[in-house]
């Protein structure tokens, strides 16, 4: 083959970014398009558990084996995205003893190391565990920041020549002579970084092969080519606590159930989850009972949760898939395995492959398998290197050493920044300019924000997922406007204003599910600050009526 | 109890220990309390930062919001390092009072400081031992009080003080407080102890209204603290005479240091030892109907707030709920206003400074309000600034300048006040007031005694 | 009982202070107890009376003229126009020449930190030269290490909003070496003390700052800074900057912590002292006692002093504990309550009806509070007065959204004044 084969990857979640990286490293010419931000879909809406495989060790041992294997890989290649927290499967008195034993056996069969702890020993590790927890199995679960992992994959793909387009929605698949040859894409603000206020454009991107890695949205892409891809999206709630009540992943040791996991995630804990099939991955009810269920059920494991502050809740949709004819009734029983649909074989439509199902922990393995398949189709023989080459930021372990200088930051802020930036920390933080903390909840400085803005334009939500700025207990109340300030003067007042509104609304969206107690008081303070002190609810530049300035008090006549 | 330090009996298998014996907080040594959940109350409004006297004079000090809820929230269990700036916090606790939302700031600072001293400060450093000696003032004071004249002479020998600064980092700028030739406890014993007090209280009650006064309601146990015992027994004596005047029977039980200087230096283990003594000693008396009275506002602060925040000995909460500052107690239980209305004070003008720890107990204005009703006496509040000494803080050579910079506002205000005598409840604030202005400093109890107790 | 007053005011914010002073002026013996520092320290220092109607109409030129149309139950409707005027008059008296705006009934438009304009009735003298109806061009100046006020962006926003003058912005380094994250009080106190401006000949920080700003001036007649120009001596700081710059200087109000809020608090507490009010801060009021015969009459409130409960007796009580932020109104997943007296707080049973999906929507939670009769006595769910001798003032009152209406300070003044006056008269 003469020219470099071209591939279009649709979907900027973990799978899509993983595929883009894999193929770009194999030397293919890759374009990735994503309708929103990177992680916009399911990747940005999961609980951040890095599975040891323990959760699948009884019901789905193949998945369990993959998980433990991939967890080990990610600990190597993505050290700055992963926290090796360890996990516990805890058993309450009413939980089945037989299942506890089966779990233990299952882990052994899958090569997942375990240790059985008495209730007392478990509480020594996690003092907030309920006093009546009988015992627990310790497993090597971990926590992962899906945002950083996804962004790092995309950055690596870019470093290998890939083009990454966010806010670029696929509006049609290009089919010529019975073959998919590309896609029509609508750029919200033109190609390149997102810029508020910039006019949108459409573009036809041609490719030798198109990959549909859109998860719960895969059916929609399929529809564009008249294909039936039966994704069964299933929603689940995640409730974010203000602080880490635990530093270990806490699973309840029961066969299956809602509200059975607490994952320590950065500065917070995330409670999960529910499992309800929905029709539309973008429009489904976010229900009060789901949040209440998280708190009430998980309080049985960690009583402190009953009174603790939650700062928001969010929902994600699992891209579950069943081969036609399986007919599983309960979405909880649908397999978590992934499926590679070669539409040439399956539907007689070459040029398009869909990947559905699967789980976050094994995204790299899925990407590898799909990339092998596509390379095979395109006659490329390069081997996968994604398991061996560290992701950007994760190359040099020494950066995280305490010996590193603190860049003039107080130690917890420096430590968090370095954990987020990995080996990029010196490049980003070593500045001669004043570098004040802008988001004090998460300890994010101006330099880190500027670095993120350089990568994501006016999209402050993209800045947020790169830095965690505005993800702490004030939920942007004290920093959202200061983040928008950082856009100026590179971007103008109107763009900064629109970007602030987007971020502010996004922060509000999740907070609505946490509006009682402290978070309601916090929300009132934020509302008072933004509406009263700044008058951002009225009197802005978007106000339709012009103000008759002359009618108002112009000061005392003598001007003193 | 200290079950924090007593892991389960190795002879008993884990599973046979009943769960109801288990309290989650006690699993770890108490110096590792998980206070992250305290960050749940934080608004991020920074009101605490604007009240911090150290941040006021030291721009590099990140302030109470960072030291408290932020640092704790960013913490993970395996994180060893606390920002070293925690040692610059003077434990004035003004942030507690400032916070509009109940964040346990000083508790977070106390825990973080203890963690820092425990895990990051070299036990071989001069700083550690200097702090340890300062924190355990009582031990030195006990020795010094045996030979008060000699100690006073040595302590304030110029060359020796310079040597102290060089070797131990104790500022040579300050004069050591003089030891009394007779400690309060020696005086108390000589006077006949509780038996004499009982008699005098009875006489006073008879004079004031006779038999209808129930003796059970008129019993107090005095926590005099170290300073009133070794250095200013006249304050303690004023407490005894004033309370007896109102008919209270006083006991002076065995007691250690309140722990204030130990908290401020991150020496929680030392504080715990003394707290255990104090709690067991006073809790028994509370069971018999006594209330606990302090004449030092830092001591009352420790018993009321810091003990329940930091320790779980049996009786801790009881002691906290029954402890009062002396004036506060009389104001609640006696018609002090009426008594002072009738009394005549000596003509006196006083510049009053409210100690930060008094402020934190809601007592910062009581002296001013109280003596407003006393003829002849004019008390002027010199403002709400911090004196800057914060116990042992201002004694450290490297903190001395900062301490004086914090105190500057108070010195100025005192200079502008009409009175040439100072007044405060806190012995170390008194030291600083005297050091900065040269004024004589009195305690409100002494004034009260002068006005009410004819002897 | 040893602690006993004619009137006891609970809460030390704008409403509580106003109530205490106004009660003291009737001749009553008054005590004010507050737990923590008031949310006055969060507030911009502007005295908003009514900037928009509850329907969002505005900005209103004449706030008083719009009072008549307010819905039943709104605090202004409860106390009436005279009380609003009386509250403002009391404020004018207490604030003296530190505030302006009482020369007219019209609202002023004050530039905010984000470059919007906001209608307000009284404004600190330090913001007077910044009014948006003033047609003189303005230079806004921000500081590198003070986040939240980007002067060039604010200026651009003001221009885009159609303000009748040209605004420009510049960001300068403060002329004293500072850490990366100086507190707002740091700037204020350096300017107060006016020492250590090393680059200026006489060491004056004010002069050194003016020198840095002068290079950016391009014919503007006024210069605006974030509101950090002094804590104890703001007039001196401003006057010195004006002298050095040769133009008017003003402050742009900022979010918490807010120096204009601090200054107002200091001024008001001095007024409390002058009025002879006994003040006690640091311990919370946690409950109340009736005399057992008459449950509608409060005999004392109980103050928690680190576990010891102490009764504070009075004839009349004023509840001015604030709203959701001040914790005068409390909530959990099940409902909303007033924690001290358990006065009724109307709220939808389902917490998902407490808010709107738009961040600036017509949130029900913003209007949570007690519902009083026309004498400001909180009423229960059936409309009956809860206690004969308890009145409520300020943000603990419900049925108004101060953030949307820009009516917070005005309601605190009007209801504080009225509650204090009625309480004092009833003793």
* Confidence at A416, pLDDT banded by 50, 70, 90: confident
Do B154 and B86 have their domain in common? no
**Helix-helix angle A411-421:A446-456, to 10 degrees:** 20
Q: Which residues of A touch B (CB under 8 A)?
A: 83, 118-121, 123-124, 127-129, 131-132, 242-245, 247, 264, 267, 304, 308-309, 402, 410-413, 415-416, 440-443, 472-474, 477-478, 518, 521-522, 525
B309 lies within 8 A of chain C by CB: no
Which residues in chain B have their CB less than 8 angstroms from residue C31's CB?
none
**Residue for token digits 């109470």?**
B64
ipTM of the complex: 0.97
Which residues in chain C have their CB less than 8 angstroms from residue B369's CB?
278
| pLDDT value, residue C200 | 67
CATH number for the domain that contains residue B348: 3.40.50
Distance CA A46, CA A42 (A): 6
* Confidence at B161, pLDDT banded by 50, 70, 90: confident
Chain A partners (3+ C-beta pairs within 8 A): B, C
Hey, are the CB atoms on A131 and B24 less than 8 Å from each other? yes
> What's the average model confidence in pLDDT over A315-320?
92
CB-nearest to C324 from A524, A538, A539 is A524
Hey, are the CB atoms on C180 and A520 less than 8 Å from each other? no
| pLDDT value, residue A501 | 95
| pLDDT value, residue B80 | 63
Q: Distance from C180 to chain A by nearest Cα, in Å?
A: 5
Which residues in chain A have their CB less than 8 angstroms from residue C159's CB?
493
> What's the average model confidence in pLDDT over A383-395?
91
Q: How many residues are given for chain B?
A: 455
Hey, are the CB atoms on C179 and B60 less than 8 Å from each other? yes
Task: Say if B5 falls within a structural domain.
Answer: no
Do B314 and B222 have their domain in common? yes
Inter-residue contact A555 to C134 (CB < 8 Å): yes
Report which DSSP code applies to B198: H
Quick: pLDDT tens for B37-84. Answer: 889 999 999 999 999 999 988 988 999 999 899 988 888 777 667 888
B7 lies within 8 A of chain A by CB: no
Task: Say if B2 falls within a structural domain.
Answer: no
Q: Give the H or E element holding residue B421.
A: strand B421-423
The string of DSSP letters for B215-243 reads GGGGEEEEE-HHHHHHT-HHHHHHHHHHH
B34 lies within 8 A of chain A by CB: yes
Hey, are the CB atoms on B40 and A474 less than 8 Å from each other? no
Do B436 and B403 have their domain in common? yes
Q: How many other CB atoms are found less than 10 A from the CB of residue C159?
A: 17
| pLDDT value, residue B151 | 79
Do B151 and B260 have their domain in common? no
> What's the average model confidence in pLDDT over A442-465?
94
Q: Distance from C153 to chain A by nearest Cα, in Å?
A: 6
- Host domain of residue B156: 127-168
The string of DSSP letters for B287-298 reads HTT-EEEESSHH
Task: Say if B98 falls within a structural domain.
Answer: yes
Distance CA A160, CA A182 (A): 21
Inter-residue contact A324 to A271 (CB < 8 Å): no
Q: How do beta strands A142-144 and A82-83 pair?
A: antiparallel
Q: What is the number of structural domains in chain B?
A: 4
Distance CA B294, CA B282 (A): 12
B123 lies within 8 A of chain A by CB: no
Task: Say if B373 falls within a structural domain.
Answer: yes
Do B191 and B320 have their domain in common? yes
* Confidence at C341, pLDDT banded by 50, 70, 90: very high
The string of DSSP letters for B255-312 reads ----SHHHHHTT-HHHHHHHHHHHHHHHHHHHHTT-EEEESSHHHHHIIIIIHHHH--
Task: Say if B303 falls within a structural domain.
Answer: yes
List, as ranges, residues 232-271 from B with C-beta within 8 Å of C: none
- Report helix, strand or coil for A110: helix
Do B189 and B328 have their domain in common? yes
CB-nearest to A267 from B74, B83, B101 is B74
Task: Say if B35 falls within a structural domain.
Answer: yes
Task: Say if B269 falls within a structural domain.
Answer: yes
Quick: pLDDT tens for B293-323. Answer: 999 999 999 999 999 999 999 999 999 999 9
Quick: pLDDT tens for C173-228. Answer: 999 999 999 999 999 999 999 987 666 677 899 999 999 999 999 999 999 999 99
**Which of B332, B366, B395 represents a domain boundary (last residue)?**
B332
**Helix-helix angle B158-168:B126-135, to 10 degrees:** 120
Inter-residue contact B93 to C282 (CB < 8 Å): no
* Confidence at A216, pLDDT banded by 50, 70, 90: very high
Which of A411, A419, A533 is the best mutation test for B, with the most CBs of B within 10 A?
Answer: A411
Do B221 and B324 have their domain in common? yes
Do B303 and B358 have their domain in common? no
> Could you tell me which residue, A222 or B342, shows the higher pLDDT?
A222
Highest averaged pLDDT of the listed ranges A382-386, B135-139, B169-173: A382-386
List, as ranges, residues 50-89 from B with C-beta within 8 Å of A: 62, 65-66, 70-79, 81-85
Which residues in chain B have their CB less than 8 angstroms from residue C189's CB?
56
**Which of B303, B332, B361 represents a domain boundary (last residue)?**
B332
| Domains of chain C in sequence order | 4-99+261-425 (3.50.50.60), 113-252 (3.40.50.1860)
Quick: pLDDT tens for A481-536. Answer: 999 999 999 999 999 999 999 999 999 999 999 999 999 999 999 999 999 999 99
Distance CA C107, CA C125 (A): 15
**Residue for token digits 């500052």?**
B325
**Residue for token digits 């006056």?**
C421
Do B33 and B132 have their domain in common? no
Hey, are the CB atoms on C148 and A527 less than 8 Å from each other? no
What is the b/e burial string over B61-96, where b = at least 16 CB atoms within 10 angstroms of the residue's CB? bbbbbbbbbbbbbbbbbeeeebbebbbbbbbbbbbb
Which residues in chain C have their CB less than 8 angstroms from residue B308's CB?
306-307
- Above 70 in pLDDT, residue A130? yes
Hey, are the CB atoms on B73 and A121 less than 8 Å from each other? no
Hey, are the CB atoms on C162 and A546 less than 8 Å from each other? yes
Q: Give the H or E element holding residue B41.
A: none
B332 lies within 8 A of chain C by CB: yes
Which of A406, A485, A548, A553 is the best mutation test for C, with the most CBs of C within 10 A?
Answer: A553
Which residues in chain A have their CB less than 8 angstroms from residue B73's CB?
242-243, 267, 441, 472-473
Q: Distance from C339 to chain B by nearest Cα, in Å?
A: 14
Task: Say if B328 falls within a structural domain.
Answer: yes
- Above 90 in pLDDT, residue B344? no
Which pair of tokens denotes residue C266? 């200091």
Chain B partners (3+ C-beta pairs within 8 A): A, C
With 0-12 / 13-18 / 19 or more C-beta atoms within 10 angstroms meaning exposed / middle / buried, residue B159 is exposed
User: Helices (DSSP H) in C119-204: which residue ranges?
Assistant: 151-160, 184-193
Which residues in chain B have their CB less than 8 angstroms from residue C37's CB?
47, 51, 97-100
| pLDDT value, residue A487 | 97
CB-nearest to C354 from A479, A515, A548 is A515
**Which of B278, B305, B332 represents a domain boundary (last residue)?**
B332
Share of chain B above pLDDT 90, in %: 57
Hey, are the CB atoms on A288 and C352 less than 8 Å from each other? yes
Do B190 and B283 have their domain in common? yes
B32 lies within 8 A of chain A by CB: no
Closest residue in C to A529 (Cα) is C255
> What's the average model confidence in pLDDT over A437-449?
95
Do B273 and B299 have their domain in common? yes
Do B201 and B306 have their domain in common? yes
Q: Give the H or E element holding residue B250.
A: strand B249-251
Which residues in chain B have their CB less than 8 angstroms from residue C183's CB?
46, 49-50, 55, 63
| pLDDT value, residue C129 | 97
């Amino acid at each position: 083959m003469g020219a470099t084969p071209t591939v279009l990857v649709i979907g900027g979640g973990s799978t899509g970014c993983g595929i883009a990286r894999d193929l770009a490293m194999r030397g293919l010419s890759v374009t990735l398009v994503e309708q929103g931000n990177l992680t916009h879909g399911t990747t940005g809406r999961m609980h951040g558990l890095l599975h040891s495989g323990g959760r699948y060790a009884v019901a789905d041992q193949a998945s369990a084996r993959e998980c433990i294997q991939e967890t080990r890989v990610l600990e190597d290649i993505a050290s700055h995205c992963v926290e090796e927290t360890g996990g516990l499967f805890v058993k309450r008195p009413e939980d089945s003893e037989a299942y506890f034993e089966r779990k233990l056996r299952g882990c052994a069969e899958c090569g997942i190391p375990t240790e059985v702890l008495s209730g007392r020993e478990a509480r020594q590790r996690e003092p907030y565990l309920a006093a009546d927890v009988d015992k627990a199995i310790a497993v090597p679960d971990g926590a992962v920041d899906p945002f950083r992992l996804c962004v790092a994959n995309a950055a690596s793909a870019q470093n290998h020549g890939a083009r990454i387009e966010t806010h670029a929605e696929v509006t049609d698949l290009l089919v010529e002579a019975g073959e998919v040859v590309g896609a029509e894409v609508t750029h919200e603000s033109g190609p390149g970084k997102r810029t508020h206020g910039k006019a949108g454009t459409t573009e036809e991107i041609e490719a030798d092969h198109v990959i549909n890695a859109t998860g719960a949205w895969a059916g929609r892409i399929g529809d564009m080519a008249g294909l039936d891809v039966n994704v069964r999206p299933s929603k689940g709630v995640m409730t974010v606590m203000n602080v880490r009540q635990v530093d270990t992943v806490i699973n309840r040791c029961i066969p299956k159930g809602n509200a059975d996991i607490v994952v320590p995630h950065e500065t917070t804990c995330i409670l999960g989850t529910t499992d309800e099939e929905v029709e539309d991955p973008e429009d489904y009810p976010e229900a009060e009972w789901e949040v209440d269920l998280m708190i009430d059920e998980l309080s049985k494991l960690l009583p402190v949760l009953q009174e603790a502050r939650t700062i928001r809740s969010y929902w994600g949709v699992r891209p579950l898939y069943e081969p036609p004819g399986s007919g599983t009734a309960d979405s909880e029983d649908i397999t978590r395995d992934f499926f590679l649909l070669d539409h040439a074989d399956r539907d007689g439509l070459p040029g398009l492959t869909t990947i559905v199902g699967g789980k976050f922990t094994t995204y790299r393995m899925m990407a590898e398998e799909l990339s092998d398949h596509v390379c095979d189709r395109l006659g490329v023989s390069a081997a996968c290197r994604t398991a061996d080459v560290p992701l950007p930021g994760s190359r040099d372990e020494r950066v995280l050493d305490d010996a590193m200088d603190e860049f003039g930051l107080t130690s917890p802020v420096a430590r968090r920044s370095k954990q987020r930036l990995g080996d990029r920390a010196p490049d980003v933080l070593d500045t001669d300019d004043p570098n004040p903390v802008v988001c004090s909840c998460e300890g994010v400085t101006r330099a880190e924000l500027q670095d993120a803005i350089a990568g994501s334009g006016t999209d402050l939500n993209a800045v947020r997922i790169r830095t965690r700025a505005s993800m702490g207990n004030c939920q942007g109340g004290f920093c959202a406007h200061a983040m928008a300030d950082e856009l100026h003067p590179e971007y103008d007042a109107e763009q900064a204003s629109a970007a602030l509104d987007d971020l502010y609304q996004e922060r509000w969206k999740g907070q609505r599910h946490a509006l009682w107690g402290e978070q309601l008081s916090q929300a009132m303070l934020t509302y008072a600050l933004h509406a009263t002190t700044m008058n951002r609810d009225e009197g802005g530049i978007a106000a339709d009526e012009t103000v008759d300035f002359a009618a108002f008090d112009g000061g005392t006549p003598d001007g003193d | 109890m200290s079950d924090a330090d007593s892991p389960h009996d190795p002879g008993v298998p884990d599973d046979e220990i009943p769960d109801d014996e288990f309290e989650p907080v006690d699993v770890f040594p108490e110096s590792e309390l998980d206070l992250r959940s305290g960050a749940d109350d934080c608004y991020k409004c920074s009101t605490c930062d604007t009240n911090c006297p150290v941040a006021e004079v030291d721009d590099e000090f990140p302030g109470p919001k960072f030291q408290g809820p932020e640092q704790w929230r960013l913490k993970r269990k395996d994180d060893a390092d606390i920002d070293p700036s925690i040692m610059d916090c003077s434990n004035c606790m003004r942030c507690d009072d400032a916070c509009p939302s109940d964040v346990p700031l000083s508790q977070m600072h106390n825990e973080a400081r203890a963690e820092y001293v425990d895990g990051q400060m070299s036990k071989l450093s001069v700083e550690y031992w200097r702090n340890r000696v300062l924190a355990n003032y009582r031990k030195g004071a006990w020795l010094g009080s045996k030979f008060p004249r000699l100690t006073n002479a040595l302590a304030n020998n110029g060359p020796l003080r310079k040597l102290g600064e060089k070797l131990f980092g104790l500022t040579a700028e300050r004069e050591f407080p003089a030891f009394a030739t007779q400690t309060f406890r020696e005086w108390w014993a000589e006077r006949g102890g509780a038996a004499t007090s009982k008699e005098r209280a009875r006489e006073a009650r008879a004079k004031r209204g006779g038999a209808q006064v129930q003796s059970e309601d008129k019993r107090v146990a005095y926590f005099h603290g170290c300073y009133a015992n070794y250095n200013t027994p006249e304050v303690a004596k004023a407490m005894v005479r004033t309370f007896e005047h109102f008919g209270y029977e006083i006991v002076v039980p065995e007691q250690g240091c309140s722990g204030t200087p130990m908290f401020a230096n991150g020496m929680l283990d030392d504080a715990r030892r003394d707290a255990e003594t104090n709690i067991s000693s006073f809790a028994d008396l509370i069971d018999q109907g006594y209330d606990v009275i302090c004449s030092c506002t830092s001591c009352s602060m420790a018993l009321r707030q810091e003990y329940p925040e930091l320790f779980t000995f049996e009786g801790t909460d009881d002691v906290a709920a029954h402890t009062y500052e002396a004036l506060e107690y009389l104001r609640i239980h006696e018609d002090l206003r009426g008594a002072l209305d009738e009394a005549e004070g000596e003509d006196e003008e006083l510049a009053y400074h409210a100690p930060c720890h008094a402020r934190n107990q809601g007592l910062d204005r009581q002296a001013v309000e109280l003596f407003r009703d006393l003829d002849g006496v004019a008390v002027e509040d010199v403002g709400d600034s911090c004196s800057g000494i914060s116990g042992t803080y201002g004694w450290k050579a490297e903190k001395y300048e900062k301490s004086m910079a914090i105190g500057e506002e108070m010195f100025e205000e005192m200079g502008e006040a009409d009175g040439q005598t100072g007044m405060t409840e806190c012995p170390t604030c008194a030291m600083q007031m005297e050091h900065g202005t040269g004024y004589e400093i009195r305690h409100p109890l002494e004034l009260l005694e002068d006005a009410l107790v004819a002897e | 009982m040893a602690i006993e007053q004619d009137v006891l005011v609970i809460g030390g914010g704008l409403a509580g202070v106003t109530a205490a002073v106004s009660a003291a002026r009737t001749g009553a013996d008054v005590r004010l107890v507050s737990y923590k520092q008031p949310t006055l320290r969060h507030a911009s220092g502007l005295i908003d009376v009514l900037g928009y109607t509850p329907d969002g109409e505005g900005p209103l030129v004449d706030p008083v003229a719009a009072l008549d149309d307010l819905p039943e139950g709104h605090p202004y409707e409860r106390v009436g126009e005279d009380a609003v005027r009386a509250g403002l008059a009391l404020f004018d008296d207490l604030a003296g020449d530190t505030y302006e705006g009482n020369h007219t009934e019209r609202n002023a438009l004050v530039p905010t930190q984000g470059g919007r304009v906001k209608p307000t009735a009284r404004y600190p003298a330090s913001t007077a030269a910044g009014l948006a109806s003033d047609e003189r061009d303005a230079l806004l100046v921000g500081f590198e290490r003070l986040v939240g006020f980007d002067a060039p962006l604010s200026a651009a926003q003001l221009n885009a909003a159609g303000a009748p003058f040209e605004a420009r912005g510049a960001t300068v380094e403060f002329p004293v070496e500072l850490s990366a994250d100086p507190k707002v009080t740091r700037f204020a106190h350096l300017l107060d003390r006016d020492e250590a401006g090393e680059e200026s000949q006489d060491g004056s920080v004010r002069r050194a700052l003016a020198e840095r700003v002068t290079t950016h001036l391009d014919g503007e007649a006024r210069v605006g800074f974030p509101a950090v120009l002094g804590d104890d001596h703001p007039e001196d700081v401003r006057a010195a900057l004006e002298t050095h710059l040769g133009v008017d200087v003003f402050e742009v109000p900022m979010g918490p912590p807010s120096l204009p809020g601090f200054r107002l608090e200091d001024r008001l507490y001095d007024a409390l002292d002058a009025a002879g009010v006994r003040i006690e801060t640091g311990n919370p009021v946690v409950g109340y006692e009736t005399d057992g015969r008459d449950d509608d009459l409060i005999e004392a409130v109980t103050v928690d002093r680190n576990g010891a409960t102490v009764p504070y007796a009075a004839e009349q009580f004023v509840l001015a504990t604030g709203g959701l932020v001040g914790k005068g109104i409390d909530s959990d997943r099940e409902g909303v309550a007033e924690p001290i007296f358990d006065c009724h707080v109307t709220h939808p049973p389902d917490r998902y009806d407490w808010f709107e999906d738009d961040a600036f929507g017509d949130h029900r939670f913003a209007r949570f509070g007690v519902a009083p009769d026309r004498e400001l006595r909180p009423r229960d769910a059936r409309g009956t007065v809860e206690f004969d001798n308890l009145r409520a003032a300020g943000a603990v009152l419900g049925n108004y959204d101060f953030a949307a209406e820009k009516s917070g300070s005005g309601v605190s003044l009007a209801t504080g004044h009225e509650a204090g006056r009625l309480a004092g008269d009833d003793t």
